[in-house]
Chain A
Amino acid sequence: MTVLDDSTAPDLVGPPNSHGPRRDPAPLLPDPEPVRILGTPAAKTFDAELQRELYRRLVLGRRFNQQATTLTRQGRLAVYPASTGQEACQITASMVLRKQDWLFPSYRDTLAVVARGVRPLDALTLMRGHAHSGYDSYEHRIAPLSTPLATQAPHAVGLAHAARLRAAADPEAAEELVALALVGDGGTSEGDFHEALNFAGVLGAPVVFLVQNNGYAISVPLASQSAAPTLAHKAVGYGIVGRLVDGNDALAMHSVLSAAVEHARSGRGPVLVEAITYRLDAHTNADDATRYRSAAEVDAWRARDPLTLLERHLRAAGLLDDAGVAATARAAEELATEIRTQFDNPPDPDPDSLFTHVYATPTSQLREQAAELAARLDADADAAADDAEDEAR
């Protein structure tokens, strides 16, 4: 065996570390089991008022889901993808945000939009079908409901990044802003999900991605969607923090999401949260869930209904009694009545609105087409008036 002189030894260690950092993945890894608070000692120290508020909001959220589903049966909504069973995710996603923050919802997240203060009618405009988005995104700081899956996730990254750029350029106008993007388990397979997480990691953008893993992408179960250990583990590949939480435990959801949002706000980078939950209703009113999942499975999840879990805990903790339940139920009925009232007047969208917001200034071609449609509608109206006159004679 020859002992090499150090000064002449070839470098056997490898090339210099010029290909980026090598980071310890351990701090990024989610806990092996979803975070739970209900039924644990941590529940005893959880703020009592906040628990009551969560209960109230979940009950109202459930009633919203039920009322919207009813509206589809009455033909007053074209479609409604309910979040029944996911109310703890929906409600806490809005509750943990501050006024300056932004929410980037998907089509199943109408309840989160309402929970942030949007009038139900305006949140449901897309589903009613008289316009694409019914609320002012800038007033509420909520992007339009995104139907193409995960495509709004990179928008959250861009907006959060832009806010940091502006804050750096003008510290006095700085908004410590967080963007929260809502994605489903199916959405995590989309390329835009991957690109958004990668950009967020590279830019260090203050974004929280909340994956509501409800087990199915319409009919396809998660096992056919991903071979990842958990969806939260995907974070590690992007160098961002992954968190796994019981999505039907409202206290755990609030706690984990609050921590994630403050993590992002403090400049420590994005967070991916996977919430394990279940869609108790079908994909939409047009879906037949019995074709792909068993009644036994649904029953098992019904026993873990986020509302039931919370109510049981609050009663046991002495934070809720029959009177409280009844009062909350009355408030939910008032909400349902208000929603029905909002839907009393059938919509009458203006045909001219087809052309008004395609460009900041309509092109000459669109002006021609708008005039053509207006002339046709005038002619139709004149003909109808003539017919009515003829009949009157």
Chain B
Amino acid sequence: MSTTMVAALNTALRDSMRADANVHVLGEDVGALGGVFRVTDGLAAEFGAQRCLDTPLAEAGILGTAVGMAMYGLRPVVEMQFDAFAYPAFEQVFSHVAKMRNRTGGRMGLPITIRVPYGGGVGGVEHHSDSSEAYYAHTPGLHVVTPATVADSYGLLRSAIASDDPVVFLEPKRLYWSAADFSPAEISTAAQVPPIGRAMVRRPGTSATLLTYGPSLPVCLEAAAAARSEGWDLAVVDLRSLVPFDDETVCAAVRATGRAVVVHEAAGFAGVGAEIAARVTERCFHHLAAPVLRVTGYDIPYPPPMLEKHHLPSVDRILDAVARLQWEQ
């Protein structure tokens, strides 16, 4: 018996709605259809069309409405249908969602969860495969979370919905159909509910440390397995939360090996990996045997699906980066 990430996210929404009548879901096609990825499947049937609301097709309006609902004490969970479809809502995100607690001197927090299916590798045509995490991570006032495992997708979504601050919850589309050995009924009890802001060492290692998140975690684990034949024992850290950033876990994992590669599929320039490389260098400089390297998507608009395999970080590109970590000294 196994559970997919989609089913785990669905269970997290259902459990959150059962636990707290203030939790409301709204977005495009989230009702009868259950969302284009079926993450909201069955919620309208169980909780009614008002608590799982099909909205007009307008992302700023969806999020702006959610802001007003949160002001009144509800906990809206907004579904943005695709990464690039969330852009019309940016003004609401940047000018209101992220700032409301600050601009009201702490009097008005907005417990909104903004779910965004993101990333490529699924053969999507234009505007369906963006990695938009850096836009959100650059904006103070938001938490930015992205699960990479089925269990985390359940636990982190529960934590996001329970958070008193707005959380941008980035769901790696590529992992939606990945599965874990839980039954759908077990996921509620079997999965841990991790706090937001804690990274997780997914694989201990001694040679070098791969720092990654979301859709790139399985690629890094695969690279680490392949690296054994090269004689490298790679540690893999799953950041899980980009904001707040877990400096403690990341630095400990890098100091333990003295070498680090950051891996993500978003464009590298001014991306989250640049921030991570800078933070690691600032904090771990005297433990480093080599510069912190990055393996990222190229600095290009997301390519058409037939070319995306060249753009996405691959096992080979990761191993090439590891090979450049100045081993002969």
Spell out A's residues near B (CB within 8 Å): 131-133, 136-138, 143-144, 148, 151-163, 165-166, 168-169, 179, 191-192, 195-196, 198-199, 202-203, 353, 356-360, 363-365
- The residue that A158 contacts in the complex, of B68, B103, B105, B245, with Cβ under 8 A, is B68
Contact of B72 among A154, A163, A168, A195 (CB under 8 A): A163
Which residues of the partner chain A approach B290 to less than 8 Å between Cβ atoms?
none
Instruction: Say whether A360 contacts B164, CB under 8 Å.
Output: yes
Q: Are B104 and A144 in contact (CB under 8 A)?
A: yes
Q: Are A199 and B107 in contact (CB under 8 A)?
A: no
Q: Would you call B244 and A157 a contact (CB within 8 A)?
A: no
- Write the nearest CB–CB distance from B70 to chain A, whole angstroms: 8
Complex Cα spacing A133 to B92, Å: 18
Bound Cα distance from A168 to B69, whole angstroms = 15
- Minimal beta-carbon separation of B197 from chain A (angstroms): 7
Inter-chain contact B108/A155, CB cutoff 8 Å: no
- Give B residues with C-beta under 8 Å from A: 21, 24, 50, 55-56, 58, 60-61, 63-74, 76, 88, 91-92, 95-96, 99-109, 140-141, 143, 163-165, 197, 243-245, 247-248
A133-B105 contact in complex given A161-B68, A165-B74, C-beta closer than 8 Å: yes
Q: Is the CB of B101 within 8 A of A359?
A: yes
Q: 9 closest pairs, A vs B, by CB? A: A158-B68, A154-B64, A195-B61, A159-B68, A357-B106, A162-B72, A132-B103, A158-B65, A363-B244
**How far does the alpha carbon of A161 sit from the alpha carbon of B70 in the complex, in Å?**
11
A357/B105 in contact, CB under 8 A: yes
Contacts of A133 in B (CB 8 A): 103-105
Q: Which of B69, B99, B104 contacts A162 (CB 8 A)?
A: B69
Chain B residue nearest in CB terms to A201: B56
Residue of A nearest to B22 (CB): A166
Asked if B21 contacts A169 (CB within 8 A), the reply is yes
| 17 residue pairs bridging A and B, Cβ less than 8 Å apart | A131-B105, A144-B104, A148-B91, A154-B61, A154-B63, A155-B67, A157-B68, A161-B68, A162-B69, A169-B21, A192-B61, A195-B58, A195-B64, A196-B64, A199-B61, A359-B143, A363-B197
Known contacts A151-B64, A151-B91, A203-B65, then 14 further A-B pairs from the complex at CB < 8 Å, ordered by chain A residue: A132-B102, A132-B105, A138-B108, A148-B91, A158-B68, A158-B70, A162-B69, A165-B50, A192-B61, A196-B61, A199-B56, A199-B58, A358-B141, A363-B243
**Which residues of the other chain, A, contact B99 by a CB distance below 8 angstroms?**
132
A166 to B72, CA, bound (A): 9
Nearest Cβ on chain B to A17's Cβ, whole angstroms: 20
Closest chain-A Cβ to B48's Cβ sits at a distance in Å of 10
When the two chains form the complex, which single residue of A165, A191, A357 contacts B102, counting CB atoms closer than 8 Å? A357
A166 to chain B, nearest CB (A): 7
Measured between C-beta atoms, what is the minimum distance from B60 to chain A in Å? 5
Q: How far is the CA of A166 from the CA of B74 in the complex (A)?
A: 9
Residues in chain A near residue B101, CB distance under 8 A: 357-360
**Please, how many angstroms separate the alpha-carbon atoms of A179 and B71 in the complex?**
12
Chain B positions within 8 Å of A364 at CB level: 244, 247-248
Closest residue on chain A to residue B164 by CB atoms: A360
Contact check, B102 vs A358: say whether CB atoms are below 8 A apart.
yes
Instruction: Specify which chain B residues have a CB less than 8 angstroms from the CB of A199 in the assembled complex.
Output: 55-56, 58, 61, 64-65
Cα A162 to Cα B65 with chains together (Å): 9
Cα distance A138–B71 in the bound complex, in angstroms: 9
Find chain A residues with CB under 8 A from B69 CB: 158-159, 161-162, 165
Taking the nearest CB of chain A, how far is it from the CB of B51, in angstroms? 8
- Known contacts A151-B95, A191-B88, A364-B244; A198 and B103 CB within 8 A of each other: no
Residues of chain B with a CB closer than 8 A to A138's CB: 107-108
